[in-house]
Structures are given as C-alpha cells and as structure tokens.
Amino acid sequence: MDISRGEAAEKLRAGDIGFVISAEPSRMGELARLDPSAPFYAGLLTAAAGDKVRAGALFEAALGSPIDRVQREAARSLGAILAESGNTGQAARVLAVLSKIKARGESEFVTLKAAALFTLGRYGEAEALCADAVSASVAGDAASGSSLSRALRFLSWAFQQPPGALAVRERRDYFFGEARADSAYRWAYETLNRRGEYTMTGADNTAIAGRLAASGGAYSEALALFDSARRGQSGIFLSYPALLGDLGRTYTAIRTKQETGYSVFSEWESAVRTGKNSPAVLNSAEAGITRYTLLFYLGRIRRQQGKHGEAAEFFARALDLAPAYFSGSEASVQEDACIWYLLSSTLTDKPENLVSLLGTYAKRWNDDGNFNDILDRLSAYLVRQKKWAALQEVFNLIRESKDSAMVARYAYLTGRAVSLAYVSGGGLSAADYFNIAYEEGNTSFYYRGLSAGYLGKTVVPVEKSGPADQDDALPNRGEIEFFTKFFEYGAGAYAMSYLRAGAGGYTRGELRALSRAFAYAGRYLESIQIAGIFMRREGYRMNIDDLKLYYPKPFPELIEKNALDTGLRPAVFYGLIRTESAFIPAIASHAGAVGLAQLMPATARETAVLVKRQGGPDYTEGDIDLTDPEINVYLGAVYLKSLRDGLGSPMLALLAYNAGPSRIRRLRRAEASLPEDLFIETIDIAETRSYGKQVMAAAAAYGYLYYGMSMHEVVADIFK
C-alpha cells in the first residue's frame, strides 16, 4: 500500500483509513503484514465509510487471523457482502479458505459457505446447508447470521423452481413470516426481482415494499403501500402476524391515520373473533395469535391518542390470549409487554387505581426488571400525593421481588413514613423497614446509605480484599486480544456492540478482564457497563476490585484540585462527573451539553463571566473549548459551587445542575413541608429524580473507596 508498517499502524490507531480507501482492492491483504487480525478492524472502518468492495476484501484477508473470534466475525461480515456483490472469484477463494478452517461448522462459517455456494450458482448445496443450519438453530440468534441464512435458503430454493412456478405459500412464508425487514430481507427481495422471471407482483409485492419502507421509518410511504395491498388482498395481513404488526406500528406512528387504523383493526378483530366475514382462513392457534396482535395494536393506537382507559382494556384482553397461544420465552415477552402497557396506561389515566392492579399483575409478570419505570413513577406519585398507606401496600406486594434495588426503595420510603408517623408500621417498626432497605441495598447504595444513618450503622459494602468469586474460569486470552485490538486499530467505537452480543456466554472472570481492558483504553463508559453486567448476575458477591471498576477514578489531580479549590467534596464531584459523562472528555449530549462536567455552552459562558468577575482566569474571549478537560472541570466546579451557595443545600444544587435552579426552587417551594430525602421522590421529572440519586450513590461509593469516608457520611453530608 506504499506505506510503512509503522505509519500504517499509527494511521489505523487514529481511525485514519485514507490510505486503505485509496489503494486497489486487490492490495487489501497487505494489511495482514501489519497483523493478521488488522484487516478485520480496518474492514469495520471501511464498511462504515460505505466502501463494501474493499471491506469485503479486508474481511476475506482476516479469515487468516490466528484469533478464532476474529475469524468468526470476519466470516459473519463477509457473508452479507459476498452474497450482495455476486463476486464469483471471491466466492471460489472463500470456499478454498473455509476448507482449511477447523471451526468451519460454526454458524458464521456455515452462512459464509452458503453465500459462496449461492454466488457460484450451486443452489441445491446452498439450500441444504442453510436448511441444516436453520433447523438445528446453529446460528443461535436472530441477528445477521441466521437472518442471512434464512434469506439464502429461500432464494436457493426459489432459483431451483421453474420460471413462473414460484409457489405463493413458500414465497409468503418468507417475506411475511420474517419478524423484521432487515438488510438480508431487503437483499432477498431485490435479488429475486432482478431475476425477471421471478419478479414479485400484485398485493404481495406492494406489502413487501411497505415492510421495507416501515423498517426505514418512512411510515407515510409504508401506509400508502400497505393500504393498497390491504385493498387488494387483506387476508395476507391476518395470516401473518409479523406483517400485521408492521401495519399496526405504521398506523400508530401517523397521528392523522390512527383513527383509520383503529377502525380497520376493530373490524378485523371482530371478524376473526366471531369467525364471520373474515378475509383469511385461520386455524384456532393462528386466529389466537392474530387476535392478540390486533388487540395489542388497538391498545397502542388508543394510547397514542391519549385514550388510556380504553387502551388498558385492550391490553387486558390481549393479555388473556398470550399464555394460550404463545409458548416459552415468547409467551413471557408478550405477557410482560401487555402488563407494562396496561399498568402504564392506568398510571397515566387513573393512577389511584394502580395499586389495586399491582395486586393482580405483580404476581403475573415474568421479569421484575421490566417494571422498574412503572414502580419508579408510582412511588413518585404516592409520595407527592402523601398516600403513605398505599406506599406500604406496594412494598408488601413487591417484597419478594428479585429486583432488590426496588425493594430497598419502597422499604426505605415506608420506613420514613412510619418514622414521621405518617402511617402505622403494620406490625413493623421504622427500624425494621430500614433494616430491609439496608440488607437489600447492595445494589442501591443510595437507599443503603440513607438507611444506615437511621440504624446507626456504617456501610461497608465489601471487605478490602481481592475478587471473592474463586469459581470463575480464567479469561479466554483470544477473546481479550480480540477486544484490545479494537483500540489498537482505531475501531474502539464498535467494540461494545460485539461484547453485548456475546456477554451472556462470558464468565465473570472474562468480563472483569474485559472491563479492565476497556478502562485501560480510556473507554470508561463501556468499562462501567461491562462491570455492571457481571455485578447484576444472580449469585454475584461484590468485592473491592469490582467496585473500583464500576467507580473508576481517572483525572485524579484535575478533579480533586478543582473540587478542593471550590470547597466541594471530591467524592461528590467525582460522582457528578461519572454520572454526567462517564469520564469521556469530548462527549456531547442531545441537548448540547459538552465535556466531562456536561456544561451547556450558555451556562459555561455565564460561569466564565462569574469567574472573571471574581478575579479568576478569563475565558470570556471567543468560544470556550468545553472538550478541554481542564477548562471543563474548572467551570463545572465553579458552577456547582454557585448552585450550592445560591440554593443553600448540596442536594438541591445537584438537582439544579440537571434541571436548572429556577425549576428546583419552584418544586421545593411546592413541597416545603417534606424533608429533603422525601422531596427528591416527588420531583415530576424522572430524569432529574434519578439523576440526583445516581450522583449521591456514586458519591457515597467514591467516598468509601478513595477518601476514607463511610457511605452514610457522604450521603448525610449531601443532605445536611
């Protein structure tokens, strides 16, 4: 590529692929001289730049990597590119390489081989290979590998049929049976239509085009296509729930068409339920799933229209069908979706009815974590309305929940209500409730720290020793190397998506090692997320090393100095910066906040004027570079101090940092009679309510880990 190894490595590390894009595709394999795995990471960058020809050549070269994971992911990425390109020369080379790879029975290699066989016109072999892969669930997921396998299987079958003899049923089963219209689906459709004798026609063709438009968010175009297909042959919608769901989502997304959608779906639901005048012939199981889908989207449409009472009724009716017509994990997903929408609609429409509904549905839902937001909104409503007995009732309903953080919240709030004589304890004292919150609070340092204050305990979440989980397998060095090379070759932004895809298969030891690798590369957000994955696993025992991964301490001199210079607790300032930016200096929010302390440009300018007035550095000339850690942290500390001085409360200052001082003053005046720890629960902005607790929990952890403070001392200091 007319560039030295050192220069190539330096450019790739910086994400500069200009020298790759300018080279001939035939020279992509030269990057393997730098590192046999380097072509894979360069391929990711090149594919993102839109150059599939060179990306395909790079992924082909990466098949020679000694790292198994690199080989598999290169094969996964190459499969789609090869099928789309129709490059017969590359297909022949791929078959030759795959014959030498020992792990060629794994899903990624099966799909790649099928793509090569299909490209060479060996349709019978490709179909058999994909049929075996799909039936044996070799792919193991619904992502690109299995989706491409199903597309290849369908097209390989189709191209073996005589022209004009393409069976309607098989064609519909693929195009309307697929859960989503992804890139493999689009490729299958376009490939079929390029072969003139197999061109899709009529209502089927129109409905497929509608699915593709809806998948890209072009809902107006999708609805026009769906309506045309519906007029031509409405039975296909009722026969295929995936297609019906796309139509439901489309009606829901277009406000002016929601009432039309409601009428269409109501008419269909009645026809399917009664068996009269239905435009499709369905057996009982098919009819049940179709009715579920219709009722679910009738609820979604009514919810979008603000008719929450009607919406809740539809979700309740859909819920009654879910266990009868779905099985296994799919039934759990559908049931939880109905329950969530039912409870959310009730909470919006008649929140006073929600507690009684929880008595019915809290025992029925499957995954406690799916309902955190409902229980969070409910606790805010109950405290705001001073419904202390109802708060206690909810605690009793969720007492056995696996979500210990939510149990700790309701236990603490009930304990506070008892301690203030707002409600009787129901056989338990305030201390009993605080003890429950304390014991459950290992996943909620905020409520644990608060409870410790009332119990006179010192919070020590872990012993100061190494990892407690001795049964973890040693890290797979190949996996660790696979991820560290993302940062070595400038593709760090893509690493986390690969980790999430396989996180369930990693041991805690492997995840710890990966978390450390991301932290070493300065990717603290991902490092924290990885630590959170294994710390939330059932049976996990916390230890000091893991806690330091979850609450890292970068930029120590900069953050500590500015905190101390402005009279802030370093632990609190660290908690704020971790919550705001996860220590990413150039990060920018959707609202426009920038940098470590996430300052809005206008706020930074106002703070700069204050600093200049007080005799500090002059940042008022020109634009302020908020991506500069020194400037950002300095202005952030000054701004937080000004909020604390103006509001007279460290806790209110933290809340104002997120929501603005005027809003927090107004909210506090409205709840002046409540103690600060209960006031924070009443804030009607979920983001701010959560933000305040997150910062305080993080501050408690930083105080404990790095500054010789008990967690309760930090929390108590914020609430002083």
Q: Give the tokens for residue 511.
A: 């995840």
CATH 1.10.530.10 residue ranges of the chain are 560-718
pLDDT bracket for residue 597 (50, 70, 90)? very high
How many residues make up the chain in this entry? 720
Query: Positive or negative, the Cα torsion across 632, 636, 639, 645?
Result: negative
Using one digit for the tens of pLDDT, what is the confidence trace for 417-440? 999 999 998 899 999 999 999 988
Three-state DSSP class for residue 81? helix
Percent of the chain with pLDDT over 70: 94
Quick one: CATH architecture of 201-349?
Alpha Horseshoe (1.25)
Q: What is the per-residue pLDDT across 314-349, written as a single tens digit (0 to 9) for each?
A: 999 999 999 999 988 899 999 999 999 999 999 999
d(CA 17, CA 20): 5
Residue of 131 and 246 predicted with greater confidence: 246
pLDDT per position as a tens digit, 550-585: 999 999 999 999 999 999 999 999 999 999 999 999
Query: What number is the average pLDDT over the span 280-309?
Result: 94
Q: What is the pLDDT of residues 445-471, one digit of tens each?
A: 899 889 998 998 877 766 555 444 444
Whether domain 560-718 has CATH 1.10.530.10: the reply is: yes
The pLDDT of residue 507:
86
The pTM is what?
0.90
Distance CA 443, CA 449 (A): 11
Mean pLDDT of 187-212: 89
What mean pLDDT do residues 534-538 have? 84
Give the integer Cα–Cα distance in Å for 540 and 404: 13
- φ and ψ at residue 403, rounded to 5 degrees: -85, 90
Q: Do residues 76 and 47 make contact, with C-beta atoms less than 8 angstroms apart?
A: no
Q: What is the pLDDT of residue 165?
A: 64
* pLDDT at residue 144 in the model: 41
Helix segments in 350-444, DSSP class H = 354-361, 372-384, 388-398, 404-419, 430-440
CA angle 340, 502, 505 (to 5 degrees): 95
Indicate the SS3 state at residue 91: helix
Print the SS3 string covering 102-116.
Answer: CCCCCHHHHHHHHHH
Q: Given the structure tokens 């697929």, which residue do they identify?
A: 178
What are the helix (H) ranges across 615-660? 629-647, 650-659
**Mean pLDDT on 167-186:** 90
Secondary structure letter of residue 472 according to DSSP: P
pLDDT in tens, 632-662: 999 999 999 999 999 999 999 999 999 999 9
Q: Report the Cα 114 to chain-centroid distance in Å.
A: 31
Numbered ranges of CATH 1.25.40.10 in the chain: 201-349
Tokens of 643: 């909020």
- In the structure encoding, which two tokens stand for residue 338, read together? 């109905």
Mean pLDDT lowest among 162-166, 224-228, 542-546, 716-720:
162-166
Radius of gyration of the chain (CA): 29
Closest C-alpha to 563, from 707, 359, 701: 707
DSSP 228-244: HHHHHHTHHHHH-HHHH
What's the rounded Cα separation, in Å, for the pair 91 and 79?
Answer: 10
